[in-house]
Chain A
Amino acid sequence: MEPIRYVDALNNKYGAMGFPAYKWSENETAPWTTLTKPLSECTVALLVSGGISHCTAPAFDPDARNDHRVDAVDPDEPTDGYQIHDSYYDHSDAGRDLNCIFPIDRLRELADAGEIGAVAARHWSGFMGRTYDRSRLTAESAPAFAENLKQDGVDLLIAVPA
């Protein structure tokens, strides 16, 4: 099956919502940091953008725009204690098993098996997309997020867009 053309589909939806035209970021190059340790010594964090919040925290706005909220997620909390609010993907499976999109339990198992060094003290959920104010994202919100990762000694971030 050919990959879905999300850019066209989302542009059509944004237009129907009365949003201004969305100019997707286009980059010719990418930054690079080499992984300097074997995975078995790495502290790994997860970041997911699928509108997932703990049931004791406020829900995400399912139609969020320019929402730079990112919640810390306790990696030891049971994964059935979360709510999902996001109008832009089908999260019915993830609602039954969070690991479909946010594999907290699977990462812990790999740490227990010694395949990675450790699970980070915090995982993360946020940065929901439809971000028109990207200069604020790249100048403020994302660097602040990176600082949190550094505080936790994270060696590798697995990022899951949704």
Chain B
Amino acid sequence: MGLVARVVEQLGIPTVNVSTGRDITALVRPPRSLFINVPMGNTFGRPGDADGQRDTLRKALNFAETADEPGVLVDLPVAWDEPFEYFTGEATPEAIAKQKKK
């Protein structure tokens, strides 16, 4: 995704990357990134929390106006109210077999 943002920006359209994976974003270095330390899948918050979702989206939009350095990565001071871990589906035998064909 960060690579796509870089190409889009290179071709003349500003981009804001709203990331939940800080280390990946720091490596790929999209033009402008906000890091939000919440579970991947909850970038804009909780289901049904329209106000919270809108607030985060508004911050991302405003960042397009305030960011002033290529590759900038800013940490949004957002806290998730419970611990969370790396999530991934299991590497099932079916998934592995399917991928090995590719």
Contacts and interface: CB of A to CB of B under 8 A. Distances in A.
Interface of A: 1, 3-7, 9-10, 13, 16-19, 24-35, 38-39, 42, 44, 47, 49-50, 62-63, 65-66, 87-94, 96-97, 99-101, 103, 105-107, 109-110, 115-116, 127, 129, 131, 134, 137-138, 141-143, 145-146, 149-150, 154-162
A157 B14 contact: yes
Nearest to B73: A30
Nearest to A113: B54
Contacts of B61: 39, 44, 110, 115-116, 156, 158
A129 to B, nearest CB: 7
Contact of A158 (B6, B42, B57, B80): B57
A44 B54 CA distance: 14
A124 B8 CA distance: 13
Given A99-B44, A110-B57, A159-B18, A88 B1 contact: no
A157 B48 CA distance: 24
B5 to A, nearest CB: 5
17 contacts: A1-B37, A4-B21, A6-B40, A7-B24, A9-B86, A13-B88, A31-B70, A33-B9, A33-B14, A65-B99, A87-B88, A103-B44, A127-B1, A138-B6, A154-B13, A158-B16, A158-B61
Interface residues of B, number: 71
Q: Is the interface of A mostly helix, strand, loop or mixed?
A: loop
A37 to B, nearest CB: 10
A129 B1 contact: yes
Contacts of B42: 93-94, 100-101
Contacts of B47: 93-94, 96-97, 99-100
A70 to B, nearest CB: 9
A149 B31 CA distance: 17
